[in-house]
Structure 1
Amino acid sequence: MATDLTFITNEANQTLKDRFNVLIKDARFFDVLVGYFFTSGFYAIYPALEKTEKVRILVGISTDRKTYDLLTNAKEEKQLEFVFSHAEAKQVVENQVVEELELSQDSEYVERGVVKFIDWIRMKKLEIKAYPSQNIHAKVYIVTFKEGDRDLGRVITGSSNLTQSGLADNLEFNVELKNSVDYTFARNKFEELWRDAVDLSEKYIETINTKTWLNQDITPYQLYLKLLYEYFKDELGQTDEVFASYLPENFMKLEYQEQAVLNAKKILEEYGGVFISDVVGLGKTYISTLLAGQLDGRTLVIAPPVLLDRDNPGSWPNAFSDFRVAGDFESIGKLEDILKKGTDKYTNIIIDEAHRFRTETNVTYEKLAEICRGKRVILVTATPYNNSPWDILSEIKLFQNAKKSTIPNQPDLNAFFSGLVKRLKGLDRQKDNEEYLRVIKENSKEIREKVLKYLMVRRTRTEIINYFGDDLRNQNLRFAEIANPEPLFYELNDEEDNVFSSTMELLAQQFTYARYTPLLYLKEPVDQLEETAQKNMGKFMKILLIKRLESSFFAFQNSIGRFINSYELFIKEFEKGNVYTSKKHIYKIFEYLEDDNDEAIQRLIDSGKADRFKSSEFKPEFLTHLQNDLAILKKVQKLWLKVGRDPKLLAFLGQLSKNKILKSDSKLIVFTESKETAEYLTANVNKAYKDQAICFTGGSGEGIRETVISNFDAKAKKQADKYRILISTEVLSEGVNLHRSNIVINYDIPWNPT
Structure 2
Amino acid sequence: MILDNKSKFLYKIFENKDIQELQILTPFITLYGFEVIQKIFNTKTKLLLSDRVEKILGINEELKYKNQLKQTFLARKFAEVIQKIEVKSTLQKNLSILNIIDKNSITSVQGNFDLSLAGLGKIVSNNYYTNLVVKNEREFINIFNDLWNMPTNEDLKSKITDYLKKIYEEKSPEFIYFFTLYKIFENILDNFDEDKIINSRTGFKNTVIWNKLFNFQKDAVIGAIEKLEKYNGCIIADSVGLGKTFEALAIIKYYELKNNKVLVLTPKKLRENWNIYRINDKRNILAEDRFNYDILNHTDLNREKGYSGEINLETINWGNYDLIVIDESHNFRNANFKKEKKSRYQKLLEDIIKSGIKTKVLMLSATPVNNRLNDLKNQIAFITEDNDKAFTDYGIKSIETTLRIAQAKFNQWMELPEKEKSTKKLLEMLNFDYFKLLDLVTIARSRKHIEKYYNTSNIGKFPQRLKPINIKTAIDNENIIYIEDINNTIKKLILAAYSPLKYLYPSKREEYAKKYDSELGEGKVFRQVDRENALIDLMRVNLLKRMESSINSFTITISKLINKYEEILNKIENYKNIEDISILDINEDDEIEGLIGEKIKVLVKDIDTIRWKQDLKEDLALLKSLLLKTQRITPQKDNKLKNLKTIIENKNKNPINPNNKKVIIFTAFADTANYLYENISIWAKENFNIESCLITGSGNNKCTLNISKDMNNLLINFSPISKERNKIDPSANKEIDILIATDCISEGQNLQDCDYLINYDIHWNPVRIIQRFGRIDRIGSKNEKIQLVNFWPDMELDEYINLENRVTGRMVLLDISATGDDNVINQEKATLFYRLKQLKELQEKVIDLEEIDGTITLTDLTLSNFKMDLIEYLKTNPNLKTYPTGIHSTLLSDDNKGVIFCVKLLKEEKSNYPLHPYYLVYVDENNEVKLNFNNTKIILDLYKNLTFNHTLDEKAISLLKDKTKNYKEMKPIVEKLKIAIDSIIEKKEEVGIKSLFSRGDINFSNEFNTFEDFEIISFLVVQ
**What interval of TM-score do these two structures reach, taking the shorter chain for normalisation?**
0.5 to 0.7
Instruction: Give the deviation of 1:450 after TM superposition.
Output: 6.1
Q: Report if the CA contact (8 A) 2:269-2:697 is conserved.
A: no
Q: Residues 626-645 of structure 1: matches in 2 within 5 Å?
A: 626=616, 628-640=618-630, 643=633, 645=637
1:254 corresponds in structure 2 to 214
Q: Report if the CA contact (8 A) 1:90-1:203 is conserved.
A: no
2:188 corresponds in structure 1 to 234
Instruction: Give the deviation of 1:100 after TM superposition.
Output: 14
Aligned residues: 572
d(CA) in 2 for partners of 1:437 and 1:648?
40
1:161 corresponds in structure 2 to none
| TM-score normalised over the length of structure 2 | 0.47
Q: Which has the higher contact order (CA 8 A, sep 6+)?
A: 2
Matched, 1:328 2:294: yes
Q: Report if the CA contact (8 A) 2:664-2:739 is conserved.
A: yes
What amino acid maps onto 1:490 in structure 2? T
Question: Which of 720, 723, 740 is the aligned partner of 2:753?
Answer: 740
1:191 corresponds in structure 2 to none
What amino acid maps onto 1:377 in structure 2? V
Q: Report if the CA contact (8 A) 2:27-2:114 is conserved.
A: no
What amino acid maps onto 2:694 in structure 1? C
The 1:694–1:321 alpha-carbon spacing in structure 2 relative to 1, beyond 3 Å, is closer
Q: Report if the CA contact (8 A) 1:555-1:674 is conserved.
A: yes
SS of residue in 2 equivalent to 1:690 = helix
Instruction: Give the deviation of 1:222 after TM superposition.
Output: 6.2
Question: Which of 257, 261, 266 is the aligned partner of 1:298?
Answer: 261
Instruction: Give the deviation of 1:553 after TM superposition.
Output: 0.8
Q: Which runs of 5+ in 2 are unaligned?
A: 9-22, 30-48, 68-91, 96-108, 126-162, 304-311, 338-342, 518-523, 590-594, 702-707, 769-812, 814-1023
SS of residue in 1 equivalent to 2:736 = coil
The 1:701–1:684 alpha-carbon spacing in structure 2 relative to 1, beyond 3 Å, is closer
Structure 1, 409-418 or 227-236: larger mean CA deviation = 409-418
The 1:495–1:399 alpha-carbon spacing in structure 2 relative to 1, beyond 3 Å, is farther
Instruction: Give the deviation of 1:487 after TM superposition.
Output: 1.8
Instruction: Give the deviation of 1:350 after TM superposition.
Output: 0.8
Question: Which of 223, 238, 241 is the aligned partner of 1:263?
Answer: 223
Instruction: Give the deviation of 1:225 after TM superposition.
Output: 2.7
1:372 corresponds in structure 2 to 353
Instruction: Give the deviation of 1:517 after TM superposition.
Output: 4.1
2:471 corresponds in structure 1 to 488
1:728 corresponds in structure 2 to 741
Q: Report if the CA contact (8 A) 2:549-2:672 is conserved.
A: yes
2:553 corresponds in structure 1 to 555
What amino acid maps onto 1:489 in structure 2? K
Q: Report if the CA contact (8 A) 1:402-1:412 is conserved.
A: no
The 1:438–1:512 alpha-carbon spacing in structure 2 relative to 1, beyond 3 Å, is farther
d(CA) in 2 for partners of 1:520 and 1:232?
63
1:78 corresponds in structure 2 to none
2:989 corresponds in structure 1 to none
Q: Residues 691-706 of structure 1: matches in 2 within 5 Å?
A: 692-700=691-699, 703-705=708-710
Instruction: Give the deviation of 1:688 after TM superposition.
Output: 2.3
2:497 corresponds in structure 1 to 515
Instruction: Output one character per residue of 1:360-408: Cα deviation in whole Å (capped at 9) or x when no partner.
Output: 3382333233323352111122233546445443333322337435286
2:12 corresponds in structure 1 to none
Q: Report if the CA contact (8 A) 1:579-1:615 is conserved.
A: no
CA RMSD of the aligned region, Å? 5.5
Q: Report if the CA contact (8 A) 2:555-2:631 is conserved.
A: no
1:669 corresponds in structure 2 to 664
d(CA) in 1 for partners of 2:267 and 2:418?
38
SS of residue in 2 equivalent to 1:537 = helix
Structure 1, 667-676 or 332-341: larger mean CA deviation = 332-341
What amino acid maps onto 1:731 in structure 2? C
Instruction: Output one character per residue of 1:608-667: Cα deviation in whole Å (capped at 9) or x when no partner.
Output: 565444654679976665555444434433453565632211111122223444696512
The 1:402–1:312 alpha-carbon spacing in structure 2 relative to 1, beyond 3 Å, is closer
Instruction: Give the deviation of 1:680 after TM superposition.
Output: 0.1
The 1:134–1:454 alpha-carbon spacing in structure 2 relative to 1, beyond 3 Å, is closer
SS of residue in 2 equivalent to 1:694 = strand
d(CA) in 2 for partners of 1:559 and 1:323?
46
SS of residue in 2 equivalent to 1:689 = helix
Q: Report if the CA contact (8 A) 1:299-1:347 is conserved.
A: yes
The 1:310–1:269 alpha-carbon spacing in structure 2 relative to 1, beyond 3 Å, is closer
2:118 corresponds in structure 1 to 203
| TM-score normalised over the length of structure 1 | 0.61
Q: Residues 82-101 of structure 1: matches in 2 within 5 Å?
A: 87-88=25-26
What amino acid maps onto 2:391 in structure 1? T
Q: Residues 128-207 of structure 1: matches in 2 within 5 Å?
A: 198=113, 202-203=117-118
1:652 corresponds in structure 2 to 644
The 1:621–1:661 alpha-carbon spacing in structure 2 relative to 1, beyond 3 Å, is farther
d(CA) in 2 for partners of 1:305 and 1:540?
22
Question: Which of 431, 438, 446 is the aligned partner of 1:460?
Answer: 446
1:500 corresponds in structure 2 to 483
Instruction: Output one character per residue of 1:500-527: Cα deviation in whole Å (capped at 9) or x when no partner.
Output: 11322343x4444443344466644647
d(CA) in 2 for partners of 1:618 and 1:224?
73
SS of residue in 1 equivalent to 2:295 = strand
Instruction: Give the deviation of 1:358 after TM superposition.
Output: 3.1
Q: Larger radius of gyration, structure 1 or 2? A: 1
2:391 corresponds in structure 1 to 406
Q: Report if the CA contact (8 A) 1:273-1:455 is conserved.
A: yes
The 1:357–1:713 alpha-carbon spacing in structure 2 relative to 1, beyond 3 Å, is farther
SS of residue in 2 equivalent to 1:708 = helix
Instruction: Give the deviation of 1:537 after TM superposition.
Output: 3.1
- Overall identity of the aligned pairs, in %: 22
d(CA) in 2 for partners of 1:260 and 1:398?
20
d(CA) in 1 for partners of 2:367 and 2:322?
25
The 1:648–1:361 alpha-carbon spacing in structure 2 relative to 1, beyond 3 Å, is farther
The 1:256–1:561 alpha-carbon spacing in structure 2 relative to 1, beyond 3 Å, is same
Instruction: Give the deviation of 1:264 after TM superposition.
Output: 1.4
SS of residue in 1 equivalent to 2:336 = coil
Instruction: Give the deviation of 1:417 after TM superposition.
Output: 4.8
Instruction: Output one character per residue of 1:533-552: Cα deviation in whole Å (capped at 9) or x when no partner.
Output: 44543343333222211211
SS of residue in 2 equivalent to 1:459 = coil
What amino acid maps onto 1:372 in structure 2? I
Instruction: Output one character per residue of 1:205-263: Cα deviation in whole Å (capped at 9) or x when no partner.
Output: 98999x9xxx9xx9998697345333253234643356525333994453212111111
Instruction: Output one character per residue of 1:297-320: Cα deviation in whole Å (capped at 9) or x when no partner.
Output: 322222345655499866799476
Instruction: Give the deviation of 1:554 after TM superposition.
Output: 0.6
2:717 corresponds in structure 1 to 711
Q: Residues 214-229 of structure 1: matches in 2 within 5 Å?
A: 225-229=179-183
The 1:491–1:610 alpha-carbon spacing in structure 2 relative to 1, beyond 3 Å, is closer
Matched, 1:355 2:336: no
SS of residue in 2 equivalent to 1:685 = helix
d(CA) in 2 for partners of 1:721 and 1:380?
34
The 1:422–1:583 alpha-carbon spacing in structure 2 relative to 1, beyond 3 Å, is farther
d(CA) in 1 for partners of 2:63 and 2:643?
71
SS of residue in 2 equivalent to 1:650 = helix
Q: Residues 87-126 of structure 1: matches in 2 within 5 Å?
A: 87-88=25-26
The 1:365–1:545 alpha-carbon spacing in structure 2 relative to 1, beyond 3 Å, is farther
Q: Report if the CA contact (8 A) 2:543-2:554 is conserved.
A: yes
Instruction: Give the deviation of 1:272 after TM superposition.
Output: 2.5
SS of residue in 1 equivalent to 2:323 = strand
What amino acid maps onto 2:548 in structure 1? E
Q: Report if the CA contact (8 A) 1:320-1:326 is conserved.
A: no
Question: Which of 544, 547, 563 is the aligned partner of 1:565?
Answer: 563
Q: Report if the CA contact (8 A) 1:669-1:741 is conserved.
A: yes
Q: Report if the CA contact (8 A) 1:516-1:538 is conserved.
A: yes
